[in-house]
Chain A
Amino acid sequence: MSMDRRTLLKGLAVAGAGAVAPVEASEKYAEAPEDAVGMLYDATRCIGCQACVTACKTANNLPGNRYNPPEDLSGETKNIIRLYQDGDESSYVKSQCMHCVDPGCANACMIGAFKKREYGIVTWDPDRCIGCRYCQVACPYNIPKFQWNTGVPLIVKCELCNHIIHDPDTGTLREGALPGCCQACPKEAVIFGRYTDLIEDAKQRIAERPERYWGPDGEPKIFGLTDGGGTQVLYLADLSFEKLGLPTLGDHGTAKQAREIQHGIYRGFIAPVALYGVLGLVMWRNNRAAKKEEG
């Protein structure tokens, strides 16, 4: 009896230690996949023509066009250009899914409607989605949108035109295929490419014209290099990213901490099983004692 108890307590102690120790599973998205693709948006090149907005709608078969420009991302808009203006300062800014290296939405999604797939593209699968909208809570950029005015709603967000650029039969990228917005942009303000190439490109632009780009303490910054654990869509701008509506995030995604806590508590399911055993044992003893008393 006392032996049993000691073993159980030991189990509990191990489970308790699990809550403190770092968890290997949490490292699984630590870096962008090797073959990752993404986009680089340079706000200093953007002229606000909204060609990308229309092209996105065409590419994704969504209603609306640039003559009636959407004010925000929504259940029928996956990409928009907004104007930030304050006194003399102004800049356009594009919004679409950032294709996080460690996406909050994919972390939140119960049965994997959101997944980080080949080339690191974050996609949504209607057949698995139950419409709980936890992805909307979990996205630091508020990107996934829900169709509120229909009985059969979908979640809508940029999937990097996965259906255009990715050939599901061969599993490779289609030669020369581009996401709608990148194809339409007349100024190459948004370009598509391999993630590592895009980083090089951004660094080169900064090296060539450092005065053109904003950064904390005058040091030009590429948004998405580390922000929130990194994003496969990178931003350059001549104003602070906060002004342009991008959140200030640490170097680790929030997903990481949430995962560490959740896995810490439930590591190997030891703690719940041990607790169940202890509870049952305690009651069994109480019960036996009560029966003895009775007769």
Chain B
Amino acid sequence: MASHSHAQPVGGPLNKKFVTFMVIFLGIWAAVLLYRFIYGIGVVSGLTDYYPWGVWIAFDVVTGTALACGGYAVAILCYILNKGKYHPLVRPALLTSALGYSMAGLAIVIDVGRWWGVWRIPLGGFPDMGSYNWDSALLEVALCVMAYVGVLWIELGPAFLEKWQSTSKNSALVGFARAGLKFYDKALIWIIALGVLLPTMHQSSLGTLMLLAGQKLHGLWYTPWIPLLFLISCVGMGYSVVVWESSLSTRLFKRQREDDMLTGLSGAMVVIVSLYLVLRFADLIISGKTSMMFTSGWLSIVFWVEIGLFAFPLWMLMNKQRRSQFPVMLRASILLMLAGAMYRFDTYITAYQPAPGQTYFPSFLEIFVTFGVIALEISMYYFIVKRYPILGGATAEGAAE
């Protein structure tokens, strides 16, 4: 099951213009970060004591990791539900997941005020080992995300080992790669199982986190079911990202598109999104919040826009014939990514109302920092697919390195 013989590096020289742009952009970004680390978070962000979490958390971490659930979602389909035909989608999905989660980790270091103490978390709160507070959902998220970043890169390991085994001139590296691949042949399923377990745990806990906000989180979003809603919506977002990414990489790198696989994914999205909407409404109705959907002022509008962003793509994909058309699929998945993102933004920012008269809007530099994180992720993706066997469906010219 570890064989990916059809995956090939894109190859060819790096695009000079792209590389130059990224180097300059990331250079400026690094300067802004330096400024933040010396003078504090306040000088680059619009965060306040009332809104201590802004786009860095709501987008880079919470939405970012949910968008990075492609690896999780495809692994469930391919390995757990045993749909082997989806295999070519696994590696590209894993790469975006590994990058997405790594960038979320980076965003956390940028966001936390006393970042030099982050290493205490994996070490049990050193120097008092084992001083974990197991009541904290954030602790569970932190530990899980740290572990999952490692698991994702390990899952992706074969891509690097295959490359080294076949092209390296260093015999020690070739030997290492060979031994490594043998190890993967035996252990991979247990690693993948971990790769499915960890996101199940922390993606739901990312929802549980906001339960502590209590009365500060508006009733339409505050629900004991929040862990389940976060979990289900992240799977939907995962599939959407795979469709979107596949469309981009076929266009940019002239790969063959895996159309029937993507049609299958769209079918899975229908199931997931329907389940999400049913649970979302069932919860509101059961807990007696039906009228809140219409009487919460502008938050009612926000709520319905959010629901519409889920419902409209669902309607687009309902019809079997229509969802096999690639443009429909692509549009629907973009809408679904937006829907999941909006659900997270609403929970963390829009519907979070700490005190009357308090507002938050991100500052220019704060958004710039987020763009920098995304730029770094794109650059790494580009470099890795060029050099390592990630993408399947190679065309003749693409395969010739």
Q: How far is the CB of B44 from chain A (nearest CB, A)?
A: 10
Interface size class of A (residues with CB under 8 A): 35 or more
CB-based contact A104/B42 at 8 Å: no
What is the bound-complex CA distance between A214 and B208, given in angstroms?
Answer: 36
Given A130-B117, A130-B118, A140-B214; A266-B140 close (CB under 8 Å): yes
Q: Is the pair A255, B37 in contact by a Cβ cutoff of 8 Å?
A: no
A137/B52 contact (C-beta < 8 A), A107-B136, A279-B80 known: yes
B299 within 8 A of A: no
Q: Is the CB of A142 within 8 A of B355?
A: yes
B136 and A148 contact, CB distance less than 8 A = no
Q: Are A137 and B213 in contact (CB under 8 A)?
A: yes
B121 to chain A: closest CB distance in Å? 6
Q: Which of B173-211 contact A (CB under 8 A)?
A: 189-190, 192-194, 196-197, 200-201, 204-205, 208-211
Which residues, 253 to 295 on A, are CB-close (under 8 Å) to B?
A: 253-255, 257-259, 261-263, 265-266, 272, 275-276, 279-280, 282-284, 286-287, 289-290
| Chain A residues closer than 8 Å to B113, beta-carbon distance | 130-133, 146-147, 153
Among A245, A261, A287, the one with the most B-chain Cβ atoms within 10 Å of its Cβ is: A261
Residue among A75, A110, A282 with max Cβ neighbours from chain B (10 Å): A110
Indicate which residue in A111, A148, A253, A276 contacts B133 across the interface (CB closer than 8 Å): A111
Residue in B39, B137, B204 whose Cβ sees the most chain A Cβ within 10 Å: B137
Indicate which residue in B50, B80, B133 contacts A112 across the interface (CB closer than 8 Å).
B133
CB-CB under 8 A from A134, the residues of chain B are 136, 138, 209, 212
From B38, B79, B124, B212, contact of A286 by CB (8 A):
B79
- Summarize B's interface: helix, strand, loop or mixed: helix
Residue contact A280 to B208, C-beta cutoff 8 Å:
no
Report the minimal beta-carbon distance from B22 to chain A, rounded to whole angstroms.
27
Among residues 182 to 221 in chain A, which have CB atoms less than 8 Å away from a CB atom of chain B?
none
Quick check: is B219 within 8 A (CB to CB) of the other chain?
Answer: no
A166 an interface residue at 8 Å Cβ cutoff? no
Is B322 on the interface with A (CB-CB < 8 A)?
A: no
B112 near A131 with CB under 8 A, answer yes
CA distance A150 to B49 in the complex (A): 14
Give A119-159 interface residues, CB cut-off 8 Å to B.
126-134, 136-138, 140, 142, 145-153
Interface residues of B in 7-39 (CB under 8 A from A): 37-39
Query: Nearest 10 pairs between A and B by C-beta?
Result: A131-B113, A148-B42, A254-B214, A111-B125, A131-B114, A133-B52, A279-B193, A136-B52, A138-B212, A258-B211
- A residues contacting B by CB (< 8 A) are 25, 72-75, 104, 106-112, 126-134, 136-138, 140, 142, 145-153, 245, 247-249, 253-255, 257-259, 261-263, 265-266, 272, 275-276, 279-280, 282-284, 286-287, 289-290
Please list the residues of chain B having a beta carbon within 8 angstroms of any beta carbon in chain A: 1, 37-43, 47-50, 52-53, 79-80, 82, 84, 108, 111-115, 117-118, 120-121, 124-125, 131-140, 142, 189-190, 192-194, 196-197, 200-201, 204-205, 208-216, 224, 227, 352, 354-355
Please list 18 pairs of residues, one from A and one from B, whose beta carbons are closer than 8 Å in the complex, sorted by A's number: A108-B136, A111-B125, A111-B132, A130-B113, A130-B117, A131-B112, A132-B112, A148-B41, A151-B38, A152-B114, A153-B113, A248-B215, A254-B215, A255-B135, A262-B140, A276-B194, A279-B196, A286-B82
